[in-house]
Each structure stands twice: as C-alpha cells, then as structure tokens.
Amino acid sequence: MKQISSGIFKDENRLYTKNLILGKRVYGEKLVDVKDTQLREWDPTRSKLAAAILNGMNINPIKEGSKVLYLGASTGTTPSHISDIVGPKGIVYCLEFAERVFRSVVELQKDRKNIAPILVDARKPEEYSWIEECDIVYVDIAQPDETEISIRNAKEFLKFNGYMLIAIKSRSIDVTKDPKQVYKEEKIKLQESDFEIVDIINLEPYEKDHAMIVCKK
Ligand SMILES: C[S@@+](CC[C@H](N)C(=O)[O-])C[C@H]1O[C@@H](n2cnc3c(N)ncnc32)[C@H](O)[C@@H]1O
C-alpha cells in the first residue's frame, strides 16, 4: 500500500481514501485496516474522480483542508471520498437538485461534519451566494450546458489560481458528435473564458465516452 497524494492510497490498481468515520461504509465498499489507519476502497466504476486518478491525472489539487464546491452530488459516493481527503479542516459544499438522491447526502452529513448538503439548482448561483470562495469547483451534472454552468459557478465561487474539475459526459452534450470533438469544443469554451487547461483524461474503460477536464482559473 502506497500513499500517492494527500489522503489517497494505492495498492496495485486499487485506490483507497483514509476513512474519516471509522467502521462506516457509504456504498458497500471494502474497509481495510493498515496499522492505525482505516482505508475505504474507492471504486473507479462508481466515481469519475477515482477513474481519472487511476488513468494518470497529472495533478490532484484536492488536499487536506481544501474547500470544495461540488455540483451534482447525487447520493454522495464521490463526495464521501472527497470528504475523507479534505478531512475535518476542509469542507465539501454538496449541491444537488433531485430531492430523492439528496436525502442520502443529508444522511451522510450526520456523521461527516465536513459535508454541507444544499438542495438547489446549480444554474442559480444567486440562490447560494452565501457560500465562501473555494479552492476547488468539482462538476458532475451531465447536462448539455455543463461547461457554461461550471464557468458561471467558478466565476462566482472559485479562488484565483483555484482548480476546476469537470466530468464531461459526451453523450449528454451532443449524442451525434465524436466524443473527442465534444471534449475539444468544451476545452475551447473554457479557454475563451480565461481558464488554463491543465489536463484532459479519458475515463475509459471505467466510464464510456467520458473525460475529466482539469483547468485553472
Ligand atoms: C452523474 S450524477 C453525479 C454522481 C456523483 N457526482 C458521484 O460521483 O457520486 C449527476 C447528478 O447531478 C445532478 N444534477 C444535474 N443537473 C443539476 C443541476 N442543474 N443542479 C444540481 N444538480 C444537478 C443530478 O440530479 C444527478 O444526481
């Protein structure tokens, strides 16, 4: 078992985060005790961030103490691992607009005090303007206008020099286009809005027709 970055461990092709809440699973994942630390296995078929890391993402800006604005928290699978990584000194603002899945994030917050669930539409930043500036904006909303929503949120909430990670689902943006063309077009939109592209990682074989774009404000 090797630590590969802040709070993230790797053993052959398996990823783990250091469990913030000892003995607690979030989605049935395996728990592994190593000396006085407990690790939670991080499934790359359930989390695009894990897939990007396993596929060689050249930087992981999410660290202990990071403040993260997370758009599209769903039931909280990836947010729970980010909560492990940022630890008690960090915070993950989890935005989600579907009430049914949002309930799981509220459950998660009962143990994980660094998770702040917010039931809101990420297209309406004016409704959560009270959120502080963040080090990271993480986006996984599978919407046709995902990049535009990301840019609007980053302009409002991302610190200068902060990083934004966008999980792009090619088919949600344009089902008729070659995924590579879609990634290129989204990249250009970000560059035209003054974001520096740091990396683009294809998420196959874990997620078909998906890429993670990492950019900097
Ligand atoms: C692919 S799932 C996210 C999975 C999650 N990020 C994970 O890795 O565990 C996309 C989620 O984004 C939410 N979503 C889509 N558009 C949204 C919007 N405009 N505002 C808030 N949430 C949105 C959906 O309801 C859905 O739960």
Domains of the chain, each with CATH number or no CATH:
43-216 (3.40.50.150)
CA distance 32 to 9: 11
Region of residue 98 (phi > 0: left; psi between -120 and 50: alpha; otherwise: beta): beta
CA distance 125 to 152: 8
Q: Which residues does a 6 A CB cutoff place in the pocket of ligand 1?
A: 47-48, 72, 74, 77-78, 95-98, 101, 121-123, 140-143
8-state DSSP, 114:
T
Cα of 190 vs centre of ligand 1, distance in Å, is: 20
Question: What does the pLDDT look like over 11-27, one tens digit per residue?
Answer: 999 999 999 999 999 99
- Give per-residue pLDDT as tens, 139-176: 999 999 999 999 999 999 999 999 999 999 999 998 99
pTM of the model: 0.97
The ligand 1 atom nearest the CA atom of 74: 27
> Token pair 């063309």 is at which residue?
181
For residue range 17-67, what is the model confidence (pLDDT) as tens digits? 999 999 999 999 999 999 889 999 999 999 999 999 999 998 999 999 999
Protein residue closest via CA to atom 27 of ligand 1:
74
